[in-house]
Amino acid sequence: MRKNTFSKISFLLLATVIMWVKTYIVYKTSFDIKIENFTQEFILFINPLSFLLIIFGLGLFMKEKTRIRWVIGTSVLMTIILIANMIFYRFYNDFLTIPVLFQASNMGDLGSSITELIQPVDLLMFIDIAFLIWISRKPFFSKTAIMTRKEKTAYFLMAAAVFFFNLGLAEAERPQLLTRSFDREMLVKNIGAYNFHIYDALLQSKTSAQRALADSNNLVEIENYLNANSKEPNEALHGVAEGRNVFIISLESFQSFVINNELNGQEITPFLNDFINESYYFENFYHQTGQGKTSDSEFLLENSLYPLGRGSVFFTNANNEYHATPEILKEFGYYTAVFHANNRTFWNRDIMYNTLGYDRFFDITDFEVNEENSVGWGLKDVSFFEQSVELLKDVPQPFYTKYITLTNHFPFELEEEDKFIDEFDSNDGVVNRYFPTVRYTDEAVKVFIEKLKEAGLYENSVIIMYGDHYGISENHNTAMAQFLEKEEITPYDTVQLQRVPFIVHIPGITDQDPKVFSEVTGQIDLKPTILNLLGIDASDDIEFGTDVFSEDRLPFVVLRDGSFITDEILYTRGVCYDVQTGEPAEDANACEPYMEKAKNELDYSDEIIYGDLLRFFEADAKVDSDQLTP
């Protein structure tokens, strides 16, 4: 383009360069995007440019004053998008997607969590907007000449050339980039945050149409895959807990690194450490949640399907047909209930619990909540468990009940009188506060078990506890490295930190012969494990998990971001690691045999959910003994 052409679009180009530089600065300061070589750094640097050239370039079709307003208004919008992603990333270590925006009803309940995430420095993001408004009033910029058709064509050809140059480099660096929609960091690193949101919108329109186009034939390939990979559950433990009451305890933000660990010479989880010595404990059990966090862990528990890579199934597909654990157990005389002292609409639970087949949801209205017994997100765990046992008096037996704790929730607030352990000493307040709230939840679980014994509900029970998702994100790696006495937290370490506690306690059985299992397992395995312990044969069901006690199970767990773990290798962010050493595997191809399996499992599960394919499926769960009676 000629010199006089540049003068016609000088304000537009100035705004483009400013937003380009600002976006790159945000990439480097607010997102933990892993860069492995110069090419990746260059791609990260140029990827905002094509979108910004095009979006600002639309102003070329407008009159002078309207063009300036368009440029400034677009700058404001792009800045808001950046800030929204920054705030979301500070806790979730992830980027916003359209399904997450559908969860906006959750925001009103976030309270102190949002306050913790918003920082005064965020206001600096608008300094360039003020500068653009000021400079737009200068004569040189306020009078912009109209461009000819040839000049506009040349401009957009240049923008298109930048886009395809960027995409070509990205595809060369990461082949089949656009097929990995679950790896948002990879997408943002290669095509940019703005283009990612457009790509996300295209995915949303595609998935919205999947249900209308689906039919029973879509399920055949998936059933064949699951049948070919199914493993027999453990026969010796089949029905060992038959007819017992079931207590499922979802431990909020509980990670395994606190188990059997100390802070300042004090046990972080003294009760659980002792309880594990009377139970079956899985030390390599991983959470597999995505953007739905606790709701995703519930979805995994009840369905043995993977959560979605974008948003929460509880919001996006709450009206689907499922064959969930509560629905199955009701067929065998179980009463099913959830206890959670939060608003019933949070995570759309009031709708989803009906879909899953629960008989009763004890929500915040069923509990007495006041200033003395609440903190942070609401009712303290000790009071929650005490009141829950009282509410159980009206619940028919046998029952299947789920308890979702609250106190150990970001930003991990706790009053001094409830701190059984001191905070950690680092420069990171979130990590420091995490340990007292973990310790408090540990004490609350102790109270719950004692109350069950007092109420005569303990002996005839099976108690299952699991961590729902991580509590400390990668944004706090420096403090975590300090606590774990490591020089740094590597991507390998990050995956290992996704391990959460999984405890199976059956009074009269596990306390006689407790065991610690090292097999690799995950939340996807909860449903088949529970059903087998209760003596229910659901072998013809659609499940991606396997009974954790199965003698021929494949030691394989895939996380929602595409990472996977076996007993020998761990794959994450394009690198294959040796599990024993934590270093890149000597055989760089060691992970390849599992890559297709990991992708298939995530894709097939997504297809089931987006297509609502279980409406075409009829399962036939069976129990080996006489029908149970409530």
Beta-bridge partner residues of 502: 466
Active site residue 294: yes
Cα separation of 146 and 313, whole Å?
49
Rounded Cα distance between 378 and 233, Å, is: 39
The two beta strands, 280-282 and 502-505, are antiparallel
Burial class (CB in 10 A: 0-12, 13-18, 19+), 227: exposed
Residues in the chain: 630
What whole-number distance in Å separates Cα of residue 44 and Cα of residue 47? 5
Instruction: Give dist(CA 413, CA 282) in Å, integer.
Output: 29
Judged on CB neighbours under 10 Å (0-12, 13-18, 19+), 9 is buried
For 81, 224, 285, the CA distances from 249, given in Å and listed in that order, are 37, 34, 15
**Residue partners of 368: CB distance under 8 A and separation at least 6:** 387
Question: What is the C-alpha to C-alpha distance for residues 269 and 451, in angstroms, rounded to an integer?
Answer: 19
**CA 388 to CA 443: how far, in whole Å?**
16
Question: Coil, strand, or helix at residue 242?
Answer: coil
Find, among 290, 379, 354, the residue nearest to 95 by Cα: 290
Amino acid, res. 122: D
Q: Helix and strand tally (H, E) in the chain?
A: 23, 20
Q: Which two tokens stand for residue 469?
A: 């998702």
- Return the number of other C-beta atoms located less than 10 Å from residue 582's C-beta: 12
DSSP string, 446-495: HHHHHHHHHTT-STTEEEEEEE-S-SS-GGGHHHHHHHTT-S---HHHHH
CA distances from 263 to 346, 412, 514 (A): 34, 17, 26
CA–CA gap between residue 628 and residue 623 (Å, rounded): 9
Secondary structure in 3-state letters for 521-558: EEHHHHHHHHHHHCCEECCCCCCCCCCCCCCCCCCEEE
Do 398 and 623 meet the contact criterion of CB atoms below 8 Å apart?
no
Residue 258: what are its φ and ψ, rounded to 5°?
A: -85, -20
Half-sphere exposure of 339 (CA within 13 A, CB side): 26
- What CA–CA distance (Å, rounded) separates 276 from 266? 18
User: What crossing angle do the helices spanning 10-30 and 64-92 adopt, rounded to 10°?
Assistant: 0
Of 23, 207, 294, 494, which one is the catalytic site residue?
294
- Residue 440 contacts residue 375 (beta carbons within 8 Å): no
In the chain, the amino acid numbered 467 is G
Cα–Cα distance between 85 and 70 in angstroms, integer?
22
The residues assigned a catalytic role are 294
